[in-house]
Structure 1
Amino acid sequence: MIVGDAKPLEEILRMIEGRPKVLVLGCRGCVTVCNVGGEKEVGVLATALRIARKKRGLAPTVDERTLERQCDPEYIEELADVAEGYDAIISIACGVGPQFVSERYPKAPVFPGINTTFIGGALAHGMWSERCQSCGDCLVHHFGGLCPIARCSKSLMNGPCGGSAGGKCEIGPEVDCVWHLIVEKMERMGRAEELERVWPVKNWITARDGGPRRRIREDLKL
């Protein structure tokens, strides 16, 4: 799941300053699950913008819309009749959303309403933790199903650093040392000897370092 944080209201107000007709555009995908960009959050942000603009003597025209997803062209197409009639569209999807809307509607000024932070999972209600850096070459099966790239503060592939203690990372007592967890898990599975393997420097060309990535599935293309 892609996790994000809402931008401060004042930052959004500065972005749309001088733009009277505004659309707050939500997404029913990941950002709904992490409670920053779904239909409820669209309503909250739109109301806050109306109140703030009215207090400043500005036109409070703020419309609301939530798409099934902002990362699929078929849903972006639902805005065809209205998108370019707005002075500002505030996308509260992940970082893909404002880009897809901007690309489809080149005359529409689109602004991000959230900060995309990481790919993670829910630990508890209202709590998410990073689990993946989308490096493009998943190796978690060699590490007990745990990712040292995303979960080690130094992305170490060959065991823990010298700073961990008591199963915790040196950056803070609230952060588990993933290498401590990896060793424990591999020992429980009777596979601890596999950790003696020395991994070479990771080839990051499959990650973002190789440039913007694209995948084409010929079996799915129409």
Structure 2
Amino acid sequence: MIVGTRKSLAEIQEMLSGFHTILLSGCDTCVAECASGGRREVAELAAALKMGFRLAGRAVELKESSVDRQCIHEFLLDVVEMAQGCDAVLSLACGAGVQALAARLEHIPVFPALNTQFIGETAERGVWLENCRGCGDCLLGYTGGICPISRCAKRLLNGPCGGARNGLCEINLVREYDPPIPCAWEQIYNRMKTLGTLDRFFEVAPSRDWSNAHSSGPRRVVRPDQKL
């Protein structure tokens, strides 16, 4: 169960500024249970955004969709198809769902409508990846849909560091990972380059309070009886 709360309407409108055809994509499992991202919440947010954009004098076309789970790739086929021809996607899933959708939409920016509070992404049957730490203040709209807090071993908000080698994080030199852990900030750079938003890559992010944070890199759990 993943709990998330919706960002303010003003922040969502700011993220979507400059886009004219937007797909709102909900998740009918975890965040639907906490009444923040299911089919009903997609409809409610779409209505609020339509009113907000109308009052602002903006002509915006909003499309709506919802799937059982955005964090499972097989469930995203219909969303990916609907997203074609859209300028942007606003995801009402947790951070793992936002990243799973962003991974399927190479040339379309995906923005988070929620702040994920507290989490893994189902990469395939019996394999789970921690792509979201549930930091409570989602940065995915500013980092190309890739989370530096969960996917960078140092949780750098301004990267990359000087330890990465050949696209891989330096923690691979300390311990053997299978598969090797990529450099999150190189992934962010490549993603933002593809989206044409590299100007935002060089904006300096403010420091955060890490007193309650964990101290490891991204974790990977594989069920013992799962044959990879």
Give the TM-score, by structure 1 length: 0.57
Deviations 1:23-80 (A, max 9, x none): 1110011100100001110000001111111122211311110011011011112223
Deviations 1:137-180 (A, max 9, x none): xxxxxxxxxxxxxxxxxxxxxxxxxxxxxxxxxxxxxxxxxxxx
Deviations 1:68-124 (A, max 9, x none): 1011011112223232421111111111111111111111110000001126xxxxx
Pairing 1:7-86 to 2, within 5 Å after superposition? 7-86=7-86
Once residues 111 and 84 of structure 2 are traced to their aligned partners in structure 1, the CA distance between those partners, rounded to angstroms, is: 13
Paired residue type of 1:217: R
User: Residue 25 of structure 2 contacts residue 90 of structure 2 at CA under 8 Å; is this kept in 1?
Assistant: yes
1:215 aligned residue (209, 218, 221): 221
1:102 aligned residue: 102
Change (3 A) 1:27 1:221: farther
Once residues 46 and 62 of structure 2 are traced to their aligned partners in structure 1, the CA distance between those partners, rounded to angstroms, is: 6
SS class of match (1:25):
strand
Once residues 24 and 211 of structure 1 are traced to their aligned partners in structure 2, the CA distance between those partners, rounded to angstroms, is: 31
Change (3 A) 1:23 1:80: closer
1:88 aligned residue: 88
Between Structure 1 and Structure 2, how many residues are aligned? 137
Once residues 82 and 221 of structure 1 are traced to their aligned partners in structure 2, the CA distance between those partners, rounded to angstroms, is: 34
1:191 aligned residue: none
Any stretches of 5+ residues in structure 1 without a counterpart? 120-132, 135-206
| Deviation, structure 1 residue 216 | 2.5
Once residues 110 and 41 of structure 2 are traced to their aligned partners in structure 1, the CA distance between those partners, rounded to angstroms, is: 18
User: Residue 13 of structure 2 contacts residue 49 of structure 2 at CA under 8 Å; is this kept in 1?
Assistant: yes
Once residues 66 and 208 of structure 1 are traced to their aligned partners in structure 2, the CA distance between those partners, rounded to angstroms, is: 32
Any stretches of 5+ residues in structure 2 without a counterpart? 120-132, 135-212
Change (3 A) 1:77 1:209: farther
User: Residue 36 of structure 2 contacts residue 114 of structure 2 at CA under 8 Å; is this kept in 1?
Assistant: yes
Give the TM-score, by structure 2 length: 0.56
Once residues 80 and 13 of structure 2 are traced to their aligned partners in structure 1, the CA distance between those partners, rounded to angstroms, is: 25
User: Residue 26 of structure 2 contacts residue 65 of structure 2 at CA under 8 Å; is this kept in 1?
Assistant: yes
What RMSD, in angstroms, separates the aligned Cα atoms of the two structures? 2.2
Once residues 56 and 9 of structure 1 are traced to their aligned partners in structure 2, the CA distance between those partners, rounded to angstroms, is: 13
SS class of match (1:211):
coil
